[in-house]
Chains A and B, each alone.
Chain A
């Protein structure tokens, strides 16, 4: 699975520029500086392997991830230790340490928001389902519709304008404090991004939960649970919600996996130095190896999250369990 992912990402980043008309020389020209003459560029292209067949390039790149590799682009060879997820010829640094550097920011953002949206989304969804047709239901679903539809750079900027600049109760964005340094400051800095990101997702989760609850609460087994004389609370949580949670677990896993690879819009809106911001900055400077690194990492998280979800499925739904 990961092999396929690596091949596809590699193909996109190495083949597409070629198809688009870029020669080995024009690619190399990016890395050796504007003043280089043609001979120098050709030599650089040769050294960097741009003239090799595609499978050799792929193999070199893949080998780099596990064994590290050495690039020779100018005055002297530069080493990129394993795991080498690429080497930026623009900043002349290996990509991996930078990714590692930014991961805590993205993780803090994604996991904090995930907890928020899971709790609020499911709670609102359950209440809406139980009070179907009431004002609460209509209002909640209306807000949810807005939440799903509004882009994060709109809600994020509005939230910044109101809470940080007008009311001065949240961080103005752009700052991040590692949790091990100061947990309170960490939470304070991330509060608004969390809420903004969670708003988007909890809206979707509320709708999903509501639909699921409406379905399960009319199931025969819920009627059985009532026929046993269980209190309504138990009927709702243990019998109704439990069954409605299965699809939510699936989506949740995938969403978190995707976000771990960088919440691009949120990080950009709040200027958080995470993976998403890193990718955006790399795109702005045409720094292909950096983008490739982020994409590989994201793909890895998504695949990993898929695996976890599949395993969790067996825990959640006994019918999937192997006997």
Chain B
């Protein structure tokens, strides 16, 4: 079997600070094929964004300690020279950022910024690049692209800006596209359009897509695979279908319970996860989730002392939990699922 297009092996990104070592990403592994979509889910501070920046080699190099491997199409980004990683950025891998207003330079027109992205990697004249920029803007559904190419980002609406951002990211036809909370800053109606657009473009370009979000709805909509992160570690990893139909980690249950659902009426209450996300400096001993986990007593104390391994729970569905597979399946089927469906 050929090596996967993108593979992370035991990636660690640590930041030494005055208060201690911040383990933003702590032993993360996953793989992704061309044309597939991976959704990375987790709370703020779970290491999602640092992971994506790490893949692009954009993490703060001055104070980060990186170990492990990020192999993209045969090149290890962790050990490659900064110059060669720079040449891959934009062309081989590109990124869509969360807030398109602050992510675009306010002093340059949208067109100039796309042209710039295109010309770094393609030796073409300005007019050719400009034609390409207009074409890209057309592709992402910006009306009157030939005129709007000369507008500044602040003259665009939020949805249009994100479209322009996508056009910029796709201008060099990247094989890997990372979208870091691409719809968080947008209106709900616009969110759906952007997600549709990203799905269509992914099919067209056959690129690998990583969507980073805390919105499970987005993941359910787009992703083939799901990776749930907690405290810098992957805690549940599997195909979107198995993960959503039979989630096995108590944290994932909590995430599902925290999602408002329209089909349950106003009386339905959310089931929030108690407690706060862990500090990345003083990660709780044992299972990082144990202080917030309702099922911790069932582990017989192991949850407090022993770090659980990411174990195959059947069919490539990996879960990092001390509970046995049968126990987890029982809890999901008998306790969690009915509650979610009844709206508690």
Contact = CB atoms under 8 A, between A and B. Distances in A.
Given A220-B97, A227-B56, A227-B95, A318 B120 contact: no
Which of A227, A230, A323 counts the most B-chain CB atoms under 10 A from its CB?
A: A227
B113 to A, nearest CB: 8
Contacts of B95: 227
A241 to B, nearest CB: 11
B173 interface: no
B107 A243 contact: yes
A323 to B, nearest CB: 7
A232 B104 CA distance: 17
B136 interface: no
A221 to B, nearest CB: 4
B116 A223 contact: no
Interface in A13-55: none
Contacts of A138: none
Given A220-B99, A319-B152, A323-B155, A227 B90 contact: yes
A231 B86 contact: yes
A133 to B, nearest CB: 9
Contact of A229 (B87, B102, B155): B87
Interface string A206-236: 0000000000000111011111111110000
B14 to A, nearest CB: 20
Given A220-B99, A319-B154, A226 B89 contact: yes
A79 interface: no
B145 to A, nearest CB: 19
Contacts of A318: 106-107, 109, 152, 154
B91 interface: yes
A228 B168 contact: yes
A243 B106 contact: yes
Interface in A294-323: 316-319, 323
Nearest to A231: B86
Contact of A227 (B94, B99, B121, B154): B94
A44 B264 CA distance: 98
Contacts of B3: none
A224 B89 contact: no
Contacts of A277: none
B58 A223 contact: yes
Interface string B159-177: 0000000001100000000
A223 B120 CA distance: 16
A164 B88 CA distance: 56
A230 B99 contact: no
A229 B88 contact: yes
Nearest to A133: B62
Given A220-B99, A223-B97, A318-B152, A229 B106 contact: no
B65 interface: no
A304 B117 CA distance: 40
A102 to B, nearest CB: 40
Nearest to B154: A319
Contact of B103 (A221, A317, A319): A221
Contacts of B87: 229
B105 interface: yes
26 contacts: A221-B105, A221-B106, A223-B103, A224-B97, A224-B103, A227-B56, A227-B58, A227-B94, A228-B90, A228-B120, A228-B168, A229-B86, A229-B89, A229-B91, A229-B117, A229-B121, A230-B116, A232-B86, A242-B105, A243-B105, A243-B107, A316-B107, A317-B106, A317-B107, A318-B154, A319-B154
Given A224-B97, A226-B58, A230-B120, 20 more contacts: A219-B102, A220-B99, A220-B103, A223-B97, A223-B103, A224-B105, A224-B168, A226-B89, A227-B58, A227-B94, A227-B97, A228-B168, A229-B89, A229-B91, A230-B90, A230-B116, A231-B86, A232-B86, A239-B105, A319-B106
